[in-house]
C-alpha cells in the first residue's frame, strides 16, 4: 500500500470519517477519492480502525450518580447563606446591644446619684 | 431561568458552563450526559477498563471543581480528556505496573461478530486489533484520538502534552505501522 503524495488530502481523511469538513473541503476530498486508489485504501483502513477502536467495552455509566457527586456551583453556596445586607444589619444590632449592656451600669449609677 | 439557546438546538458547552455557574444544576446533567460516553471510551482505550466508571466520575468531579480555571482555550471535551488521562496515568503508577504499555485484553473488545457468521470479517477485525495493540502507547493514543475521536492535532497535543508537530508525526508513524501489519 503506497501513500498518496497529496498531504493535504490525506490529512483530511479522518475529518471525513467524523463529518467534520465544510462543504467545499468535503466536495474536494470526495472528488480526489474518486480518482485516488491510495487515499481510498487509506480511508478504508481508517474506517476499519475506527470500527475496532469504538468496539472497546465501556462501563455502563450512571450519569445521575456522577451528577450527584459534582461540587455545587458557587451561586448555590451563596444563596444558602444569609444575604450580605442582612448580615450587616445583624452585626450593627449586635454591636448596639453590646454597647447598651456595657454602659447600662454607668447609666444606672447616674440616675441613682440624681435622685 | 432564562434560556439563551435556540429552541431545538442544543446549547453549546460554554453556555451550559455559564448556566451551571449561575446555579442551574440541570446544566451539569446535560454536560455529563453529553460527554460521559466519550470520556469512558477514551479511558477504556487507554486500558483503564478496571475502575473505568470511577475514573469517569473523578474526571467530572475534578473538572467541575476547577471550572474557574477553565479558560476555554481548548474545548471542554479536550479538557475532560486531559484530566482523564492524568487520572489513568496516576492509577497506573499507583498500581506499580512495570510496563508503560496498556494492553487491550481479549475481553475489552465487544466483537459483534459473535452474532455474525463472518469468519473472514472476524479475522480482519482481530488483525486490525493486533495491529493497533502493537503500536507504542503514544502512537496508539494519538491514533485513537485522531481516528476514533476526530480530534485535531492541536487538541491531541493539549491532551497528551506534546506539540502539534509531534502529534502529527506520531499519527503518521502509527498509520504507517498499522498499514504494514495489515499486509504482513
B90-116 per-position pLDDT tens digit: 888 887 555 544 544 444 444 444 445
Residue of B nearest to A56 (CA): B109
Look at residue B117 in the predicted model and tell me its pLDDT: 53
State whether B182 and A45 contact (CB < 8 Å): yes
The domain locations on chain B are 8-101, 104-184
Task: Please give the Cα distance from B144 to B139 (Å, whole number).
Answer: 8
Average pLDDT on A86-108 reads 62
Q: What percent of chain A has pLDDT over 70?
A: 63
User: Of B139, B137, B130, which Cα lies nearest the Cα of B181?
Assistant: B130
| CATH match for B104-184 among 3.40.50.20, 1.10.10.10, 1.10.3720.10, 3.40.50.2000 | 1.10.10.10
Q: Where is pLDDT greater, at A114 or B156?
A: B156
Q: Where is pLDDT greater, at A49 or A96?
A: A49
Q: Where is pLDDT greater, at A17 or B52?
A: A17
Task: Please give the Cα distance from B133 to A103 (Å, whole number).
Answer: 83
Tell me how close the Cα of A51 comes to any Cα of chain B, in angstroms: 8
- Please state, in angstroms and as integers, the Cα–Cα distance from residue A81 to each residue in A68, A77, A78, A93, B61, following that order: 21, 7, 6, 19, 23
A71 touches chain B (CB under 8 A): yes
Lowest mean pLDDT among A54-63, B29-38, B142-151, B173-182: A54-63
Which residue out of A41, A73, A78, A80 would a mutagenesis test of the B interface target, given it has the greatest number of B Cβ atoms within 10 Å? A73
Residue of B nearest to A18 (CA): B150
The answer on pLDDT for B151 being more than 90 is yes
State whether B25 and A73 contact (CB < 8 Å): yes
Let me know if the fold of B8-101 is the same as that of B104-184.
Answer: no
- pLDDT tens digits, residue range B51-76? 788 999 999 999 999 887 777 777 89
Look at residue A91 in the predicted model and tell me its pLDDT: 58
Residue that has been written with the C-alpha cell 462543504 in this structure: A23
User: Average model confidence (pLDDT) for chain A?
Assistant: 80
Task: State residue B127 phi and psi, 5-degree precision.
Answer: -65, -45
Average pLDDT on B137-147 reads 96
| CATH match for B8-101 among 2.120.10.10, 3.40.50.720, 1.20.200.10, 1.10.1740.10 | 1.10.1740.10
Res. A107 pLDDT band, cuts 50 70 90: low
Average pLDDT on A30-35 reads 96
Q: Which residues contact B123 (CB under 8 A, 6 or more apart)?
A: none
Q: Where is pLDDT greater, at B34 or B7?
A: B34
B66 touches chain A (CB under 8 A): no
Look at residue A104 in the predicted model and tell me its pLDDT: 67
Amino acid at each position: 500500500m503506497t501513500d498518496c503524495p497529496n498531504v493535504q488530502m490525506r490529512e483530511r481523511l479522518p475529518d471525513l470519517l467524523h463529518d467534520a469538513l465544510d462543504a467545499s473541503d468535503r466536495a474536494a476530498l470526495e472528488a480526489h477519492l474518486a480518482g485516488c486508489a491510495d487515499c481510498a485504501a487509506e480511508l478504508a483502513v481508517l474506517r476499519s480502525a475506527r470500527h475496532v477502536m469504538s468496539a472497546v467495552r465501556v462501563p455502563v455509566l450512571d450519569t445521575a450518580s456522577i451528577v450527584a457527586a459534582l461540587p455545587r456551583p458557587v451561586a448555590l453556596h451563596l444563596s444558602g447563606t444569609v444575604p450580605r445586607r442582612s448580615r450587616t444589619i445583624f452585626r450593627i444590632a449586635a454591636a448596639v446591644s453590646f454597647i447598651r449592656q456595657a454602659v447600662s451600669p454607668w447609666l444606672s449609677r447616674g440616675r441613682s446619684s440624681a435622685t | 431561568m432564562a434560556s439563551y439557546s435556540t429552541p431545538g438546538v442544543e446549547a453549546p458547552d460554554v453556555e451550559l458552563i455559564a448556566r451551571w455557574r449561575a446555579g442551574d444544576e440541570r446544566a451539569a446533567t446535560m454536560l455529563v450526559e453529553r460527554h460521559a460516553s466519550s470520556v469512558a471510551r477514551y479511558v477504556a482505550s487507554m486500558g483503564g477498563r478496571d475502575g473505568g466508571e470511577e475514573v469517569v466520575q473523578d474526571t467530572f468531579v475534578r473538572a467541575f471543581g476547577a471550572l474557574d480555571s477553565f479558560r476555554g482555550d481548548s474545548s471542554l471535551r479536550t479538557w475532560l480528556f486531559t484530566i482523564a488521562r492524568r487520572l489513568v496515568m496516576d492509577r497506573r503508577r499507583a498500581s506499580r505496573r512495570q510496563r508503560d504499555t496498556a494492553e487491550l485484553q481479549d475481553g475489552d473488545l465487544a466483537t459483534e461478530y459473535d452474532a455474525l457468521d463472518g469468519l473472514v470479517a472476524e479475522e480482519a477485525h482481530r488483525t486490525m486489533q493486533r495491529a493497533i495493540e502493537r503500536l507504542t502507547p503514544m502512537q496508539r493514543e494519538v491514533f485513537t484520538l485522531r481516528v476514533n475521536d476526530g480530534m485535531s492535532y492541536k487538541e491531541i497535543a493539549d491532551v497528551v502534552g506534546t506539540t502539534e508537530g509531534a502529534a502529527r508525526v506520531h499519527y503518521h508513524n502509527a498509520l504507517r505501522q498499522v498499514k504494514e501489519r495489515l499486509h504482513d
